[in-house]
Amino acid sequence: GENVEQHPSTLSVQEGDSAVIKCTYSDSASNYFPWYKQELGKRPQLIIDIRSNVGEKKDQRIAVTLNKTAKHFSLHITETQPEDSAVYFCAVDSWGKLQFGAGTQVVVTP
């Protein structure tokens, strides 16, 4: 089955700096890669996703890059703000099911 690894597990950044989270996967047939943000006790919220036919996608301060050859994709958050503090999960669609990474606790300090 699909194996998704996510790094780092925790990330502390100064407000205004950038944050980068990276995920690797094992199944080369996977073609859909969403990122979710989850605040404590709340539902995961889709923040951005990318499909295998593109290498990069951007939405305001958030961007995702995908390297299908190397089987890794990354989330980039620029100009971080305190409200960006949350747990971020990458996921990989494998045969119609999402396999989640272990999550990254992001803390943005003012």
Partner 1 sequence: GAVVSQHPSRVICKSGTSVKIECRSLDFQATTMFWYRQFPKQSLMLMATSNEGSKATYEQGVEKDKFLINHASLTLSTLTVTSAHPEDSSFYICSASNRDRGTDTQYFGPGTRLTVL
Which residues contact partner 1 by CB under 8 A?
32, 34, 36, 41-46, 49, 89, 93, 96-103
Query: What's the count of helices (H) and strands (E) in the chain, helices before strands?
Result: 0, 11
**Cβ of residue 96: shortest distance to partner 1, in angstroms?**
7
Q: Which is nearer to partner 1, 13 or 98 (CB)?
A: 98
Task: Pick the closest to residue 49 from 30, 26, 33, 37 (CA basis).
Answer: 33
**Cβ of residue 98: shortest distance to partner 1, in angstroms?**
6
Q: Which is nearer to partner 1, 44 or 80 (CB)?
A: 44
Q: Which is nearer to partner 1, 77 or 103 (CB)?
A: 103
- What is the C-alpha separation between 102 and 110, in angstroms, rounded? 26
Q: What is the DSSP letter of 90?
A: E
